Amino acid sequence: MNTDKLTHPVVKAALDAWQKGDAGAWHAFFTADAQLFDDGSPRDFSAFSRSAIGHERFTSIDKVENDGKDIYGHFHSDQWGDFKTYFKFHINADGKINRLDIGQANY
């Protein structure tokens, strides 16, 4: 899956780690207290990452918005199947991701 559409360097590097199933690299881009919201509901970021990395991935990136921080695309989950999703990254002044919003997308 090609990530060349990703324009924000932190988002691109984090998503490349996600796609490769590299949990250590993925976590390195986030603050220690990173928040996760799944369709608006809070979830445990660490637990989500542990269960999803290596089992979930984008199969295409269809749209990139918000200066490269909002990603929309087709997604595959070993548990939930295939669907459209979004990942919206919030980056603090230090260049670390402190919040990630994910969910099913309708576009």
Which has the higher per-residue pLDDT, 12 or 1? 12
Q: What is the mean pLDDT of the chain?
A: 96
Contact 71, 5 (CB under 8 A): no
CA distance 96 to 98: 6
Tell me the CA distances in angstroms from 75 to 11, 30, 94, 102, one per residue in order: 17, 21, 29, 11
Strand, coil or helix: 49: helix
Whether the per-residue pLDDT at 3 is higher than 90: the answer is: no
* Domains delineated in the chain: 9-104 (3.10.450.50)
Q: Which two tokens stand for residue 95?
A: 């260049």
Q: Which H/E stretch holds residue 85?
A: strand 81-91
**Residue 21 confidence (pLDDT):** 97
